[in-house]
Amino acid sequence: MPAQEPVFIAPATDGVRRLLSDRGFVALGATLAAWVMTFAVVAALRALAPQTPVLALFMLLVVVVAMLEGAGPGVLATALSLAAILVLGAPDGSAAPAALIMFLAAGILSSVGGEWVVRRRLRDERASQTLLEREALLRSIFDSAPDAMIVIDEKGIVQSYSAAAQRMFGWSAVEILGRNVSTLMPAPFRQEHDGYLHRYLSTSERRIIGIGRIVAGERKDGSTFPMELNVGEVRSPHGRFFTGFVRDLTERQETEARLQELQSELVHISRLSAMGEMASALAHELNQPLSAISNYLSGARRLLEQTPNADSRSTEAIGKAAEQAIRAGDIIRRLRDFIARGESERSVESLTRLVQEACTLALVGAKEYGVRVQYRLDPRVERVIVDRVQIQQVLLNLVRNALDAMRGQPGRRELVVSTEQAADSMARVSVADTGPGLDPDAAARLFQPFVTTKAQGMGVGLSISKTIVEAHGGQIWHERNPEGGAIFRFTMRLANGVGEAENGKDER
């Protein structure tokens, strides 16, 4: 790693450190080799031509070594060259002491100059290395960021286009680089984008830069999608650039829509349930007076029948009135049965999937409440026969209640959703929270309709949950959480036969 190599800033120590590094030993070895070669060449030339400029040739060696390897090898080359000159001798008189001193001075000067050159070169190399590394890092961020990133210039021409953008828009980088970014927008923005850019450049009036907006994007196949766009501006010597960060909102909007759908279904069921409760109460209350009416009417008819000369039309009318009273009772009973039965589509479902799906929906936004969520789902408790939407509504309701209970509460906020095997081939689902626990006044009546302690609450969630769970042959109840807070549990039938058959098939 470059950071572990010597840094060439402090003057004296750096040269020494470099010399003592592996690279320094290689440099000294290379210097020695170059000197040996020079020595051999000069000796050979001397043998051929006595006037060979020995000092000049060795000076050349010193300068080359110093420029390539710096002060240490330069000084070594100077010392070795002086020794060589003394050994070889110089017939032209250049080995005189004055010349040797000049050689030494020139050698040292070259070494100092060479050291400066080497340090500059190494610094430049290091800078370009760091630049390359930073660019690689930036590129990897650019390519791995989940949000799409697109850089455009002042004219709206795409300069950079990340991997996420390729996935999001369907255009490859090759197709889009150099084209106008408006290609990624549907009409009318496509035609107007250049105008927006121009207006910003001339007025500096910000409408999107640094603000962020939800806008529409267009994919290569022509389909459009909602996206959140944040734009940043960069001013560089090469001009102004705009960086767009794009998040695809399709999924989020789908989740929100699904959540709303489930909630409206829940409200629908709650109305039905409230009607059911009313019908049941009415049936109960009206049953007695209706029975009394029909009894009195039967009595009156018998009395009339025993009265001589009684008008047979009166007897008939009283008989019809009694029939109608009985019919009224039947109508109310039938209405009650019809509502209690409701519409229910049961099938074999995966409990784990059902729980996870409902919790995901219920937990939208839970992060903002600072709640830690844990799942403890027993894989052996898997296949259940239920109306998926209804059971998910029970779960959604319990999880939302747990979140409501923990919202704004200091201290631990933990939600544990678990599944386990209960007695009699039943599966049990539990939702435990660490909220304040149940209100003692309301605790006994929680499952009755319209019992709520919330300002905005309808108080029907738990009563509907009870209706649903009981219609599935299960039970729902609450317990005190030993860790503080409340636990709501409910049971439903396991699809044992079906589940085992399918599991067996999988294993084979």
Per-residue x/- track, 365-404, ligand ADP (CB under 6 A): --------------------------------x---xx--
Does position 481 interact with ligand ADP (CB under 6 A)? The reply is no
Q: Which of 113, 319, 459, 484 binds ligand ADP (CB under 6 A)?
A: 459
Residue with tokens 């049971």: 491
Does position 433 interact with ligand ADP (CB under 6 A)? The reply is yes
How does 481-504 read in b/e, with b if 16+ C-beta sit within 10 Å? beeebbbbbbbbbbbeeebeeeee
249's tokens: 């909102």
Q: Which of 446, 468, 492, 495 binds ligand ADP (CB under 6 A)?
A: 446
In the complex, least distance from residue 490 CB atom to ligand ADP, rounded to whole angstroms:
13
Judged by CB under 6 A, the stretch of 146-154, 192-200, 316-324, 432-440 that binds ligand ADP is 432-440
Question: Smaller CB distance to ligand ADP: residue 114 or 461?
Answer: 461
Does position 166 interact with ligand ADP (CB under 6 A)? The reply is no
Task: Please give the Cα distance from 336 to 282 (Å, whole number).
Answer: 9
Number of residues that bind ligand ADP (CB under 6 A): 21
State how far the alpha carbon of 71 is from the alpha carbons of 23, 99, 356, in Å.
14, 22, 70
3-class secondary-structure state, position 424 = coil
Nearest to 385 by CA among 359, 350, 417, 357: 350
Any bridge partners for residue 493, and if so which? 426
Does position 462 interact with ligand ADP (CB under 6 A)? The reply is yes
Residue with tokens 């940043």: 232
393's tokens: 């509504």
Does position 405 interact with ligand ADP (CB under 6 A)? The reply is yes
Per-residue x/- track, 34-73, ligand ADP (CB under 6 A): ----------------------------------------
Judged by CB under 6 A, the stretch of 146-154, 216-224, 364-372, 446-454 that binds ligand ADP is 446-454
Beta strands 383-386 and 347-350, pairing class: antiparallel
Does position 452 interact with ligand ADP (CB under 6 A)? The reply is yes
Does position 419 interact with ligand ADP (CB under 6 A)? The reply is no
Nearest to 433 by CA among 412, 415, 451, 452: 415
Letter for the amino acid at 243? T
Ramachandran quadrant class, 437 (left: phi over 0; alpha: psi -120 to 50; beta: rest): left
Question: Smaller CB distance to ligand ADP: residue 69 or 433?
Answer: 433
Does position 435 interact with ligand ADP (CB under 6 A)? The reply is yes
Does position 458 interact with ligand ADP (CB under 6 A)? The reply is yes
Q: Per CB under 6 A, which of residues 281..320 are in contact with ligand ADP?
A: none
Task: Please give the Cα distance from 165 to 168 (Å, whole number).
Answer: 5
464, 474 contact by CB (below 8 A): no
Task: Please give the Cα distance from 479 to 9 (Å, whole number).
Answer: 70
3-class secondary-structure state, position 452 = coil
385, 348 contact by CB (below 8 A): yes
Judged by CB under 6 A, the stretch of 31-39, 204-212, 415-423, 434-442 that binds ligand ADP is 434-442
In the complex, least distance from residue 464 CB atom to ligand ADP, rounded to whole angstroms:
8
User: What residues line the site for ligand ADP (CB under 6 A)?
Assistant: 397, 401-402, 405, 433, 435, 438-439, 442, 446, 451-454, 457-462, 486
